[in-house]
Amino acid sequence: MRVKLREYHIDSSNIIHSQHIAHTINEFVVKAPYVRTFVRHLRGIKGVKVLKFFNPLRPTHAELSLAQRATFPGMYRQRVRMTFSDGVTSGPGFIAYAQDYVREFGL
């Protein structure tokens, strides 16, 4: 994914973590100073929509069907569980982020 993002002039060194989480939704954790630039670049890519304030545990966006909305929370919890398991090694600061994330979702 990082190679593809570079094709759209996105500086992938500012992306701390990215993952495809469910259906057509990808999640990015981006360094705070780069967020506006990142969103601007994403909006310039045909077929990409930035979902503001997307809550994966309560998905309400019209882009998802009712069936997708119903299955999304469980799929997301499973993806988070796999991504943030003890076997995953990560860069500085990400471990604390992951631990907070896992606690927030009750995993």
Q: What is the mean pLDDT of each run of 10 residues along the chain (107 residues)?
A: 84 84 81 92 90 79 83 80 60 63 59
Q: What is the pTM of this model?
A: 0.65
pLDDT, position 40: 94
pLDDT, position 97: 65
Burial environment of residue 38 by CB neighbours within 10 A (0 to 12, 13 to 18, 19 or more): buried
pLDDT, position 39: 93
Evaluated on CA atoms 61, 65, 71, 75, the torsion sign reads negative
pLDDT, position 42: 92
Evaluated on CA atoms 32, 79, 18, 35, the torsion sign reads negative
Give the amino acid at 75.
Answer: M
